[in-house]
Chains A and B, each alone.
Chain A
């Protein structure tokens, strides 16, 4: 922490609750998030000393200025009765590798220095955050002594496809806990867990970037911290930058997941099946914005990958599976489908290849992109007419295949 932040922390001295918001050029949306957090503090924790920390990655659009100026002037407009609670704000740029993980590290350090009892982090691009999110993420920690509160959202069926097709099923099959949104981005956690995170030597790896979410969830589960999830309603956020690179995202998230498989091999090898985790919050259905999908282009990308990357995959994929993919590119769009079994075998093969270092790590993980796009295309095709509940059942079915085939992973791992 730099001198200015230390001065501010010393000035505040201690606090009960801290909510962190990592940001980078989110001036458009962060004001709403700050107001929701402030209202949440006022409504649910009026007697507690609360702090909001904005950890910024060097925004050039005035994000930090928005954080400083945003706030609720007149609580009578949103609360019938309220006490004047103590609400403090810190907006600072973080240091280290540019990325969400480095922003979180600064938040953890401030939480540790202020000796808070509970923390939460929420994304700065959220448009659907409400004051209730703060209650749902913090109260399980303060009241029920949980260490980690993962989010549970109502999302569009084509939203969070890396979560639905890789991270959730794989994490569930490995560690045996059904945390539905392991990389949701909005989490609550205890001071003990924040301190544990700070002691880990991962801040120069992909954890400092997109890998932070899966690392936090997996570390909490694998180290036997008390984990639960809270239903937050809809997750609607600003659309991602269209220029953001899918293969980089996939590389960082899947790479971190595979790295954690190495770190916690002892924790997952003996696990069979999975158990639900306690869930808080009132479930309700929400209307979601439609998501536009170009199915034809996705299948084209898959076919291009299979045609060109055979030499890269030859030592990674089993021969039968590779032949299945090569046969698939000759089929028509109507017949295009990557079944659960083939997809699970693909993910497990890549995990084993990464573990055994069969190929340069970055080449291996980036080469997964066309196969992932193919799987998403297959999923979109299969669920075009499906309701949210039917889609959830399909994801559940995929998770079961991941669990059933875990023996193959165990055998190939050593």
Chain B
């Protein structure tokens, strides 16, 4: 009887005791998750109304942000995207709090680590998104300016500006995440410096005649100029 107690009953009793201790935490956690989901839905609704009231979509259209999203295949307006992000941030926060509430050491340790790294991920993602938007905007501005200046390699100039700005933002994002910090900076410096050096050599050697012809045309005024007064 004693053996039966020790082998079968006692573990079950201990399990039962532990379950009694764990169950309130589990229920609280479940409640927290449900509250988080409901609050997330409310936050999404509130943010959507607020952002539409301040005409965020109009502003994003104006500054080319919407266009940058469209180019990457995201067709939804910025107000909807932002409110969705806010909804999921709320839900995730509540899920994390709920998991911590379970008081499981391994989970707690993991969450601590995630919490410490989370700001880096957030800032890195932000840098990357802003970098992408900025690279599209500046690339397009450079392309239009180059076309209007009559530069034949306008497309190349536009793409170069876009690529350089995006590369810079990737470097900054990776640096923020702490991935190969020094390696990335050195790689970027070498690649960027190399590109500039290559251009300098290419123009110096290959474009010597072109530069001479161009300067001659500009200074001597050999090219037939338009005298149209547009206004």
Contact = CB atoms under 8 A, between A and B. Distances in A.
Interface in A129-147: none
Interface stretch (B40-48, B145-153, B168-176, B191-199): B145-153
A158 B228 contact: yes
Contact of A239 (B146, B152, B223, B227): B227
Contacts of A154: none
Nearest to A240: B229
Given A242-B225, A294-B225, A162 B231 contact: yes
A246 B225 CA distance: 14
Given A246-B148, A304-B147, A363 B231 contact: no
A271 interface: no
Interface in A192-227: 210, 213
Nearest to B60: A357
Contact of B147 (A185, A309, A357, A359): A309
Nearest to A248: B148
A162 B144 contact: no
Contacts of A245: 148
Interface string A363-392: 100110110000010000000000000000
Interface residues of A, number: 46
Given A162-B231, A210-B231, A360-B67, A292 B62 contact: no
Contacts of A294: 223-226
A159 to B, nearest CB: 5
A293 B229 CA distance: 11
Nearest to A162: B230
A294 B147 CA distance: 17
B143 interface: yes
Given A246-B148, A312-B143, A363-B64, A293 B231 contact: no
B225 A309 contact: no
Interface in A266-318: 291-294, 297-298, 300-301, 304-305, 307-309, 312
Given A366-B144, A366-B145, A249 B230 contact: yes
A48 interface: no
Given A309-B143, A360-B63, A361-B62, A293 B228 contact: yes
Given A161-B230, A183-B231, A304-B154, A360 B64 contact: yes
B11 interface: no
Interface string B53-90: 00000100111100100000000000000000000000
A250 interface: yes
B120 interface: no
B64 A305 contact: no
A98 interface: no
A262 interface: no
Contacts of A253: 231
Contacts of A359: 64, 67
Contacts of B229: 159-161, 237, 239-240, 291
Contacts of A366: 144-145, 148
Contact of A309 (B61, B144, B231): B144
Contacts of A210: 231
B144 A367 contact: yes
Nearest to A298: B226
Contacts of B61: 357-358
Interface string B199-231: 000000000000000000000000111111111
A308 B158 contact: yes
Top 9 A-B pairs ranked by shortest CB distance?
A: A360-B64, A247-B148, A357-B61, A162-B230, A292-B227, A294-B224, A369-B148, A308-B155, A291-B227
Interface of B: 58, 61-64, 67, 137, 140-141, 143-148, 150, 152, 154-155, 158, 223-231
Interface of A: 158-163, 183, 185, 210, 213, 237, 239-240, 242, 245-247, 249-250, 253, 291-294, 297-298, 300-301, 304-305, 307-309, 312, 357-363, 366-367, 369-370, 376
